[in-house]
Structure formats: C-alpha cells, structure tokens
Structure 1
Amino acid sequence: MKKSRRRLAAIAAGVGIAPLVTVILPATAANAHGYVLSPPSRQAQCAQGIVPCGQIKWEPQSVEGPKGLRSCSGGNARFAELDDDSKGWRATVVGRTVTFTWTFTAPHRTRDYEYYIGDRRIAVFDGGDRQPPSSVSHSVYLGSVSGRQKVLAVWNIADTPNAFYACVDLDVR
C-alpha cells in the first residue's frame, strides 16, 4: 500500500511538472540550418551586432519557410524585421560579380540555390541532391544593375518542402 502511494505521488508530480518544464526550457533548434555569411546577409548583420535585431540575433541560420517565397524572412513572423528595408542594413560594396558564401550548421540534402534581384532570378546552382559541406560559395554575375541592390539568396532543400532565405544588401559599382 505504501509503495503504491509513493508511485502514485511520483506520477502525479511528473504530470504536474511536465507542462512547467516545457514552458521554462528553451526550444531546441531544428537539425538543419544555413544562411549567407559573406557578404553579410541581414541575419549575419544581426548576429554580429551590426544592426540591432530581435530573436534572429541568436539564430541567424533559422530563416526557413515554404519554397517559392520572395521575402527576407521566409514568411516567418518571428523574423519579420528582416523584411524591413528601412532598418539600416549595411550594404557591401561590390563589383558586377559577387561570391556568396553559405554556412551550414547541419545541412540538408540540397535541390539548388537561387539568387534574385527583385523578381528576376539572376543565378541558380544545382545542389545535386547531396548534403553540402560546412560552407558553399557561388560566384554570381549581377548583370547591368548598379547602386544599392537587395539580393535574395534561397537554399532549396531536396528532402523537405522548405527553403532557407537570406537577403544581402549590396552597393554595386
């Protein structure tokens, strides 16, 4: 009788504590993430403290959303400030060809990488349905644009319906 009361008390305590633990402990990050580190994307600028930002400062690799979007936040409301063009993003001075370097914390198999200026796709690179190494670089020709430009870089995942998004502000000279 004494044993069964103790066991019942232990079960009741566990059931009572479980919701509290769920609220107190931070959420764990998803397994696969990546973003453009160079030239510094908006989330890289947040992580480096160049531009004051919210949650993205702590998880620049987490801008994930459904494939096909054209937003810096990947449609993720927690990172909506990445869509704010007036936030004071620093533009990197570049020529007509730029090398974009992605960094990955735990890579997915890759369908491809796309680069856009506005609604115009300026480059695509096949990912070969393979997991990338810890970083990947692409040399992208920007065309005849000049001045301040925002490039949307998209990492399309092969094994999920999602993609990772990064906007990079450039001053093309």
Structure 2
Amino acid sequence: MVALGAAVVALVPSLATAHGYTVAPKSRAVWCKEGEVGNCGQAQYEPQSVEGPKGFPQAGPGDGEICAAGRTEFAQLDDPKKNWPLSEVDAGQEFEFHWHLTASHRTTKWEYFVTKDGWDPNRKLTRADLEQKPFFMEPSDGVVYPPQDTYHTGKLPKNKSGRHLILAVWTVADTPNAFYQCADVNFN
C-alpha cells in the first residue's frame, strides 16, 4: 500500500515546481508574491502556477476566470475590486517582455492581448473585453525553455491611452496547458 501511494505521488505533478510568471509588465501574481497586494490566496506563494487549458481565445479558461486560468485557488487574481498597481508604459513603445521561468517546457508561442478601449476595470475580464488578436506574438516552434529569465521584444499598441489590462499567455507544447498572467498598465 505504501509503495502504491508513493507511485501515485510520483505521477502527480507538483505545483511547487511549476512554471512561470511575467515580471515585465509586472503581473497581478507578482504583485501578490511581493506582498504589494494582499489576500491573494495561493498566488502569493505560487505565482508561477497560474496554469490552465491552452487554446486561448477559442478555448482556455472561462470568461471571468481568465486571470486565474480558471483555477479556484487563484480566483483572487480575477477580483476587479482589488487595488491592482499599474505599470506605466508608453503607447507604441518597443517593450521588453520578461518571464521568470521555474521549470522547463517545450514552447509553442508567447502571446499578448490588450483590453479594448472602453473596457471596464471594475468587472472581471472576459474575451469580449480584449482585442480580437494579440498585439504581439513570439513563436517558439517547440524550443525548450529551461528555468531561466526569458525576454523578447515587441511593440506595445500605439493607439491606447489610460488604464488597460495586458493578458500574457505562454502556450507550452508538452502539456495540454498554458500559463496566464494579467498585468494592469497605464498607457501614457
């Protein structure tokens, strides 16, 4: 019985070893990890574990659960009533996106979506709140990204001003999941 229990534990992936979060723009999960925003549930301990089904926007986490990747232990990341700090960015600027990875994954792509003009930050994020297509996509064609800091440079949307939300999606090729990170920004 003990051997069977050990075998089952060995087959279940550990959240503690999973997987990655955005440092730039600074995600809600990182604000929680750093203690800048309180009452964040598991996000304060495991910002790298905000992982849910891939295929966004056609599939993936449901509307209102996007920032938490559809996982109840990260539900606080979807709470629009929290005082989420804003990262200051310039519309149209070249931006260096920065992910901190804590586990290796074969990668399909990295995508960045932004909210539409008129988005209501007092409501939970839905697909209808986001521009239809990502404003930046970095293909990876199955490259394995080991635990490291990963950077790629792309242009932020040029016709944005004021408060918006950027949704970063890291789609991995070696699992049925992707990693979701929401960052609140102010376009100057």
Q: TM-score range by the shorter chain?
A: 0.7 to 0.9
Aligned residue type for 2:67: C
Task: Write the distance in 1 (CA, Å) between the matches of 2:15 and 2:71.
Answer: 15
Task: Write the distance in 2 (CA, Å) between the matches of 1:93 and 1:42.
Answer: 14
**Do the aligned residues in 2 keep the contact of 1:32 with 1:108 (CA within 8 Å)?**
no
The range that moved more, 55-64 or 68-77, is 68-77
Distance change (3 Å), C-alpha of 1:44 and 1:128:
same
Aligned residues: 152
Task: Write the distance in 2 (CA, Å) between the matches of 1:73 and 1:140.
Answer: 25
Higher Cα radius of gyration:
1
Ranges in structure 1 where 5+ consecutive residues have no aligned partner: 1-10
Aligned to 1:8: none
**Do the aligned residues in 2 keep the contact of 1:34 with 1:107 (CA within 8 Å)?**
no
State the shift of 1:126 in Å: 0.5
TM-score by length of 1: 0.80
**Do the aligned residues in 2 keep the contact of 1:147 with 1:172 (CA within 8 Å)?**
yes
**Do the aligned residues in 2 keep the contact of 1:63 with 1:165 (CA within 8 Å)?**
yes
2:181 is aligned, of 150, 161, 166, to 166
Task: Write the distance in 1 (CA, Å) between the matches of 2:68 and 2:154.
Answer: 22
- What is the Cα-based RMSD across aligned positions, in Å? 2.2
Q: What's the % identity of the aligned pairs?
A: 41
Aligned to 1:114: 111
State the shift of 1:135 in Å: 1.6
Task: Write the distance in 2 (CA, Å) between the matches of 1:167 and 1:140.
Answer: 17
Aligned to 2:49: 62
Flag the structure with higher helix content.
1
Aligned to 1:102: 99
- Pair 1:139 & 2:153 matched: yes
Task: Write the distance in 1 (CA, Å) between the matches of 2:109 and 2:167.
Answer: 14
Per-residue CA deviations over 1:1-31 (Å, capped at 9, x if unaligned) read: xxxxxxxxxx8xx69xx7xxx9xxxx94264
2:84 is aligned, of 83, 86, 89, to 89
Higher relative contact order (CA 8 A, sep 6+): 2
Distance change (3 Å), C-alpha of 1:30 and 1:162:
farther
State the shift of 1:47 in Å: 0.3
State the shift of 1:65 in Å: 0.2
